Structure 1
């Protein structure tokens, strides 16, 4: 995987504190690559940490998947900072492109999902693949801070989103 995005591409942007959102992003990435091989497509798929995504990356991709945890009923700070940093440089330049969201949450996730949707609405993106919340069922300090792994069902959900976004290119 190259760090430069070129041509028709799916860009998967992630931030993770305990591993769940990163695992979801990697599962989506692997599923998109599998569809690419199966269909013999020439489209590309890129997996990038939120802190590394540039406006040029956004401009060169045709579809986006944002994977992040919810923290204190909001989108994680690093993903929010990424979207804040990218918002104006790509405004009015990515309208109509498709996106989806995977939020990992201890118990709810709705606040973070709503935040990403509102930002993407400002960009006039199209949520062709409905975003999901992967509930990690963490409600104590120890459980919230512990490293996370996705269940098989959660891995499948994340993979379906990545494969579907890639197939829509």
Structure 2
């Protein structure tokens, strides 16, 4: 019997929204889920994964700094070693989330990863300094979407679809 695939859910959160999305994706993925905080991620860990869900907030129009740091540590060591692996993204945003999404997609393009689910951007409409810094509650529908994303990637990996 083949071993369970490893779906790395690489995440960073400042106010709780991305953490909630990452946990929901892990629930959906079941035993394939491998939750890894961006601060702990090392290139060897990313290499050991069969697929990825990248989860972070958009801060100042970009992915969060700690998530960018995780990619900075891993990008060149993994270049040429992860081509074709599946990935998806979950972005928590105060407005549009497109900046963080574009950054992750550019990194994924360099690694030659294969997007296997549409981007999920959860707009939490935080526009004041107080709202931006406040702990977030993610709408139920967004958590369901994150769970479904985790389940779909885990099942696709298990079936060898990607």
User: Are the counterparts in 2 of residues 10 and 63 from structure 1 also a CA contact under 8 Å?
Assistant: yes
Q: Secondary structure at the match of 2:99?
A: helix
- How high is the TM-score relative to the length of structure 2? 0.93
- Identify if the C-alpha distance between structure 1 residues 31 and 7 changes in structure 2 by more than 3 Å, giving closer, same or farther: closer
Unaligned 5+ runs, structure 1: 1-5, 37-43
Write the distance in 1 (CA, Å) between the matches of 2:47 and 2:108. 14
Write the distance in 1 (CA, Å) between the matches of 2:140 and 2:90. 15
Structure-2 residue corresponding to 1:70: 58
User: Are the counterparts in 2 of residues 20 and 104 from structure 1 also a CA contact under 8 Å?
Assistant: yes
Matching residue within 25, 34, 50 for 1:46: 34
| Pairing 1:143–2:137 present | no
Root mean square deviation, CA, Å: 1.2
Structure-2 residue corresponding to 1:115: 103
Write the distance in 2 (CA, Å) between the matches of 1:158 and 1:166. 12
Deviation above 4 Å: which 4+ runs of structure 1? none
Unaligned 5+ runs, structure 2: 158-162
User: Number of aligned pairs?
Assistant: 155
Structure-2 residue corresponding to 1:131: 119
User: Are the counterparts in 2 of residues 8 and 60 from structure 1 also a CA contact under 8 Å?
Assistant: no
Matching residue within 150, 159, 165 for 2:147: 159
Structure-2 residue corresponding to 1:59: 47
Q: Secondary structure at the match of 1:22?
A: helix
- How high is the TM-score relative to the length of structure 1? 0.89
Structure-2 residue corresponding to 1:20: 17
